[in-house]
Amino acid sequence: MQPVTRRRFLRTSAIAGAATFLTSEAWASAGAPLMHRAAPAVDLAVARGDSPERNCLAAVEALGGFARFVRPGDFVVIKPNPIGTSPPEAALHTHPAMLAAVIRACREVGARRIVALSHDSRRSMIVNGTAAAVTEAGGELHALEREEEFREVVVPRGRVLRRERIAAELLEADVFINMPIAKHHAGSEVTLAMKNLMGVNWDRITFHRTDLQRCIAELASVVPHTLVIMDANHVLLTNGPGGPGEVRAGRQVIAGVDPVAVDAFATRAFFTDPARIGHIRIAHELGVGEVDLAKLRIREFEA
């Protein structure tokens, strides 16, 4: 049987009526390139220090380096959180230095094309430094503002979501890197890796009008991750997602392949018990990832 890569899974899901339920083995392998299925030495890497760029690169290196996730010729899609017009210290958007470092690292290991995208305002991306970081590092920036830039996929495990329109470029990517920032959120309590996916889908209003927590988890169930790199160098503790609010100097980057595990670690470190957050708990129940940190191999170190 042909292996289920993330691109093949997403393309299959995009065919109307093709609501094929994957086995747990196939589902687990869908989020990683074919050549990188060996279990890593650690599940989560947490690099701490005063340099967001150094923390970012050190955390990924602890997981095996970018060559473990990106092959020569790959098309890479990166999803930062690019909102707001404040400096990075306000903890509203992914640090531009991290984003630039990841793009350069992907280019160094042979990626043929790198696109940073989000369903957000291009103006904010220009003002807060996201746009310059992407283009100067050799990537493309796409502010997704038109419905035709999205394509419908089936949500096999959805109870609220049956079909969802997500970014068409994400369907074509070989590698998906989610780069959120850790923040409080008035509606979902936290906005981390899985909540950051609401920048790859079109209809966010439905999420807020129905069941936000479940919709976030169900969306995460159809977006296999290759890598998650969480910006927790500065963390917005209150009045999120737009601030201004209380900011804590987290001085760390959290990296892993499991968005549930990364979100659980960040939630425990800065907010509350991750089992209290609806979308984290539901995503675990859907088989997206692991919420119990005691089951994970976690490496924490100074970068």
pLDDT for 41: 82
Question: How does residue 6 score in pLDDT terms, banded at 50, 70 and 90?
Answer: low
Q: 23-32, 65-74, 90-99 — which is least confidently predicted?
A: 23-32
pLDDT in tens, 249-281: 999 999 999 999 999 999 999 999 999 999 999
Q: In the CATH scheme, what architecture does the domain 41-302 have?
A: 3-Layer(aba) Sandwich (3.40)
Rounded Cα–Cα distance for residues 161 and 163 (Å):
6
pLDDT in tens, 110-155: 999 999 999 999 999 999 999 999 999 999 999 999 999 999 999 9
Q: Which of 219, 165, 154 is nearest to 19 (CA)?
A: 154
Question: How does residue 10 score in pLDDT terms, banded at 50, 70 and 90?
Answer: low
Is 70 exceeded by the pLDDT of residue 60? yes
Rounded Cα–Cα distance for residues 144 and 202 (Å):
9
Q: At what angle do helices 96-108 and 52-62 cross, to 10 degrees?
A: 40
pTM of the model: 0.89
- For the chain, the domains span 41-302
